[in-house]
Structure 1
Amino acid sequence: MSSSRTAAASPSPIHARTLRTPEELVEAGFVTRDTLPAIADVAEQYATAIPPAFRDLIETPDDPIGVQVIPSPEELVAAPHELADPIGDDALSPVPGIVHRYADRALLKPLLICPLYCRFCFRREHVGPDGGLLDEEALAVAFNWLRDNTAIREVILTGGDPLMLSPRRLEHIMRELASIPHVTTLRIHSRVPLAAPEKITGTLLDAMDADKAVWLVVHANHAREFSPAGREALKKIQRRGIPVLGQSVLLRGVNDSETALEGLFRAMVESRMKPYYLHQLDPAPGTARFHVPIEEGRRLLAGLRGRVTGLAWPTYVLDIPGGYGKVPLGPDYLEPSLSTVSDPNGQRHAIRTPDTL
Structure 2
Amino acid sequence: MPDGSLPSPRPLRDADALAAAGLVPPAALPALREVAARYAVSVTPAMAALIDPADPADPIAAQYVPHPAELETTPQELADPIADHPHTPVKGVVHRYPDRALLKPLLACPVYCRFCFRREQVGPAGGVLSEAELDAALDWFEAHPAVREAILTGGDPLMLSPRRLRHILARLSALPHLDIIRLHTRVPVADPGRVTEAMAEALESEKAVFLCLHANHAREFTGEARAALRRLSRAGVALLGQAVLLRGVNDTAESLEALLRTMLAHRVKPYYLHQLDRAPGTARFEVPIAEGRALLASLRGRVTGLAWPTYALDLPQGQGKAPIGPDFAERAEGGWQVRGPLGGGHFQADATPG
Instruction: Return the alpha-carbon distance in structure 1 between the equivalents of residues 262 and 242 of structure 2.
Output: 12
Out of 52, 56, 62, the residue aligned to residue 59 of structure 1 is: 52
Instruction: Return the alpha-carbon distance in structure 2 between the equivalents of residues 188 and 176 of structure 1.
Output: 15
Deviations 1:66-92 (A, max 9, x none): 110000010010011000000011111
TM-score by length of 1: 0.93
How many residue pairs get matched? 343
Alignment of 1:13-24 (within 5 A): 16-24=9-17
Out of 245, 252, 273, the residue aligned to residue 247 of structure 2 is: 252
Is 2:26 the counterpart of 1:33? yes
How many Å apart are 1:313 and its aligned residue?
0.6
Alignment of 1:97-246 (within 5 A): 97-246=92-241
Q: What's 1:340 paired with?
A: 337
Q: Note if contact 2:203-2:235 (Cα within 8 Å) is conserved in structure 1.
A: no
Secondary structure of 1:156 counterpart: strand
How many Å apart are 1:355 and its aligned residue?
3.5
In structure 1, the gaps of 5 or more residues are 1-14
Q: Note if contact 1:69-1:119 (Cα within 8 Å) is conserved in structure 2.
A: yes
Secondary structure of 1:205 counterpart: helix
Secondary structure of 1:244 counterpart: strand
Letter in 2 for 1:316: Y
Secondary structure of 1:106 counterpart: strand
How many Å apart are 1:94 and its aligned residue?
0.7
Instruction: Return the alpha-carbon distance in structure 1 between the equivalents of residues 94 and 209 of structure 2.
Output: 19
Q: What's 1:354 paired with?
A: 351
In structure 2, the gaps of 5 or more residues are 1-7
Instruction: Return the alpha-carbon distance in structure 1 between the equivalents of residues 14 and 91 of structure 2.
Output: 29
Q: What's 1:7 paired with?
A: none
How many Å apart are 1:143 and its aligned residue?
1.0
Q: What's 2:5 paired with?
A: none
Letter in 2 for 1:355: T
Letter in 1 for 2:299: L
Is 2:72 the counterpart of 1:77? yes
Query: Cα gap change, 1:344/1:130 in structure 2, threshold over 3 Å: closer, same or farther?
Result: same
Letter in 1 for 2:124: P
Q: Report the RMSD for the aligned CA atoms in angstroms.
A: 1.5
Out of 43, 58, 75, the residue aligned to residue 36 of structure 2 is: 43
Q: What's 1:6 paired with?
A: none
Identity of aligned residues (%): 56
TM-score by length of 2: 0.94
Deviations 1:172-224 (A, max 9, x none): 11111111111111001000001111111011111111221111000010111
Q: Note if contact 1:339-1:356 (Cα within 8 Å) is conserved in structure 2.
A: no
Instruction: Return the alpha-carbon distance in structure 2 between the equivalents of residues 115 and 240 of structure 1.
Output: 22
